[in-house]
A and B are shown apart, each in its own frame.
Chain A
Amino acid sequence: MLSFAIRRILQTVPTVLAVVLVIFVLFSVVPGSIVSSMNDDGRGPADAQVMERMKKQLGLDDPVYIRFGSYIAKLATGDFGTSFRTREPVTTMIAKRMWPTLQLIFASMIFAIVIGVPLGFVAALRPGSFVDTISMVVAVSGLSMAKFWLGLLLMYLFALKLGWLPSFGYGDGSLKYLILPAVTLGVSPMALLARTTRAAVLEIMTADFVRTARSKGMSETRVVKWHVMRNALVLILTTIGLQFGALMGQAVVVEKLFSWPGIGSLLVDSVLQRDIPAVQGSILVVVLFFLTINTLIDLLYGVIDPRIRYA
């Protein structure tokens, strides 16, 4: 198990390096240099001398590979550079916004699991029934909705009309501020989990070992609890892992909509203001988080499904 874990963790190293390279190349080599993009910040065009001085200061005249080397070296010490916009270290900016984003991501994933998995189970145990049809209609609808539209509707209904919840912002960080953004963000993973769970359970219910379990004289409830659940979990976990990626992407939109002070809204603001170091830093943190989650989930597989551990 330990060697499996170490192997799995080492596998992520090339991916991380490749991601760093892509992010670096995307923003450093492509036309439209960083300094000229700084002219777009609304303070009027900088004069040529200033631009030269800044280029030197930022080391932008060095060849690309030297710049990449020093970029990596700085990253290794946890230095993501300095924001063009606020002159603050990007690391500090990200650190401040880490917690709200984590809150949002996990809250919406918990919402998705708590609603989606049981929905899929119920649907699969009574295929073709009313419950099944309704839950699959809910699932496909949830997948087809633009998240920010759903967010707008929820905001209109629960915040503006009913006045039950605050319409936007982080407030004092209490739960009532979290509910609307988390539900908005959680709807599509919920829908996907419901569908995956249903499909997984339906397939497992036809497996030979389920027939064996029934031949032992087990009630259907026990068959599901003892034999179907664990097998379904493997497939459900895959979906959860992959959904974290989509969730990180969607979080950008939802954070922006609800003015949630997370990494997503930092990323959007930085992109709109061409604050390159902040953009690079936020993307890198998002990718690292996603990779970490997926590695953890792969390790969990090893615990749940013995065939993977020994493979």
Chain B
Amino acid sequence: MTGPPLIEVENLRIDLNYRSSHFTAVEGVSFRIDRGETFGLVGESGCGKSITALALIGLLRPPLSIGAGAIRFEGREIQSLPAAEQRALRGNRIAMIFQEPMTALNPVSPVGRQIAEMFVLHQGKDWREASRLAVEALASVRIPAPERRVKDYPHQLSGGMRQRVMIAIALARGPDLLIADEPTTALDVTVQAEIIELMRNLCAERGTAILMISHDLGLVANVCRRVAVMYAGRIVEERGSDDIFRACAHPYTQGLVDSLPRLGSRAALGRTRLTEIAGVVPAITDFPDGCRFNPRCTRATEICRTTEPATTWLGAGGLVRCHHHV
């Protein structure tokens, strides 16, 4: 492939400054996503995956801020762009859908209007033309009778319908990158698959790259070609999603894999217990020294408690940060 990747994150650090306290929420995070690629970011809640996504789209608000590192979109560093140019990227080239579709939509505005805003903002259309385009956008996410539905308010729609509206908004301008932060976590299991399928197909048609964020390794591995696992503000392993179940290198990843029920396995049939990772995720206020996973790790030795592991490159573009990786 020629030219710079679609988006490139290099050594990103996100700080949390509250009054006189200073913490580092995310540190040394680097990854790249190519045009049309699907990339997943997995981790438990509080590991920093969501704020990494917010940093990409420029939505970090105090007390959070970018402390160091670079985010480059098509080779241009986003933060050094003037505010107006950043806004022209946001929504237009990089779009985002959120976890909770009920609260992510404005309760007192008809959904059609909330879609139409995209055309007014980025294409300078008048409201009439924008409303017509909004009907098309609703139709594209397979909502029946879109010309009537545009007049509905969010509370009149079901959870799945609302998330379809969110997708319609996000994909309205045919962005190059869609960030999906736990897009199905708040939905019924039966609806989840439909939404994932819809999102994947629409992005494939448009050549839109996906950055999917979830606590659910199985879901992410299913949607994405490559997966990065985050723990306590750092990426601990990055692999092709085919490899990750077969041969994960980091003990934390191994723990995540082992805690998934797999079809046909003894665990899924209820004959053995699913294993869980002992201990709890450390709070941002007291990340342990050395490898941050060491208090919960079965392989931990003295070096893990004192020295932060360096990045080890594995074959096929994978990487791991562990003193005792397999």
The answer, yes or no, to whether B252 is at the interface (CB within 8 Å) is no
Q: Count the A residues whose beta carbon is within 8 Å of the partner chain — how many?
A: 23
Bound-complex Cα distance A219 to B82 (A): 13
* Candidates A216, A234, A307; contact of B117 at CB < 8 Å: A216
Given A208-B98, A211-B59, A307-B153, is A216 in contact with B90 using a C-beta cutoff of 8 Å? Answer: yes
Would B100 and A307 count as touching, CB distance under 8 A?
no
Q: In the complex, which residues 288-310 of chain A have their Cβ closer than 8 Å to any Cβ of chain B?
A: 304-307, 310
The answer, yes or no, to whether A230 is at the interface (CB within 8 Å) is yes
Would A226 and B108 count as touching, CB distance under 8 A?
no
* Candidates A211, A218, A305, A306; contact of B87 at CB < 8 Å: A218
Would A207 and B103 count as touching, CB distance under 8 A?
yes
Given A227-B109, A306-B153, A307-B155, is A216 in contact with B118 using a C-beta cutoff of 8 Å? Answer: yes
The answer, yes or no, to whether B131 is at the interface (CB within 8 Å) is no
Contacts of A214 in B (CB 8 A): 59, 90
The answer, yes or no, to whether A150 is at the interface (CB within 8 Å) is no
Would B108 and A216 count as touching, CB distance under 8 A?
no
Q: In the complex, which residues 211-247 of chain A have their Cβ closer than 8 Å to any Cβ of chain B?
A: 211-219, 222, 226-227, 230-231, 234
Contacts of A231 in B (CB 8 A): 106-108
Contacts of A226 in B (CB 8 A): 109, 117
Contacts of A306 in B (CB 8 A): 107-108, 153, 155-156
Bound-complex Cα distance A205 to B103 (A): 13
Q: Count the B residues whose beta carbon is within 8 Å of the partner chain — how many?
A: 28
Closest CB-CB distance, A212 to chain B, in whole Å? 5
Would A212 and B117 count as touching, CB distance under 8 A?
no
B 90-133 binary contact with A (CB < 8 Å = 1; else 0): 11100110101001111111000000011001100000000000
Bound-complex Cα distance A310 to B59 (A): 34
Bound-complex Cα distance A234 to B107 (A): 12
Bound-complex Cα distance A304 to B153 (A): 12
Would A217 and B89 count as touching, CB distance under 8 A?
yes
Closest CB-CB distance, A20 to chain B, in whole Å? 37
Closest CB-CB distance, B312 to chain A, in whole Å? 35
Contacts of A106 in B (CB 8 A): none
Bound-complex Cα distance A226 to B98 (A): 20
Would A209 and B122 count as touching, CB distance under 8 A?
no
Contacts of B105 in A (CB 8 A): 209, 212
Would B104 and A208 count as touching, CB distance under 8 A?
yes
Would B98 and A219 count as touching, CB distance under 8 A?
no
Contacts of A230 in B (CB 8 A): 106, 108-109
Bound-complex Cα distance A306 to B111 (A): 12
Contacts of B121 in A (CB 8 A): 216-218, 222
Bound-complex Cα distance A310 to B156 (A): 9
Given A209-B103, A216-B90, A218-B87, is A304 in contact with B98 using a C-beta cutoff of 8 Å? Answer: no
The answer, yes or no, to whether B88 is at the interface (CB within 8 Å) is yes
Would A234 and B108 count as touching, CB distance under 8 A?
yes
* Candidates B87, B103, B118; contact of A219 at CB < 8 Å: B87
B 187-200 binary contact with A (CB < 8 Å = 1; else 0): 00000000000000
Would B153 and A217 count as touching, CB distance under 8 A?
no
* Candidates B92, B98, B103, B108; contact of A217 at CB < 8 Å: B92
The answer, yes or no, to whether B57 is at the interface (CB within 8 Å) is yes
Would A217 and B109 count as touching, CB distance under 8 A?
no
Bound-complex Cα distance A307 to B169 (A): 22
Would B153 and A215 count as touching, CB distance under 8 A?
no
Closest CB-CB distance, A192 to chain B, in whole Å? 23
Bound-complex Cα distance A306 to B106 (A): 11
Would B59 and A217 count as touching, CB distance under 8 A?
no
Contacts of B155 in A (CB 8 A): 306-307, 310
Would A215 and B107 count as touching, CB distance under 8 A?
no
Bound-complex Cα distance A227 to B103 (A): 13
Can you name 10 extra interface pairs (CB under 8 A) apart from A215-B96, A306-B107, A306-B155?
A: A208-B103, A209-B103, A209-B104, A215-B59, A217-B87, A222-B121, A230-B106, A306-B108, A306-B156, A310-B156
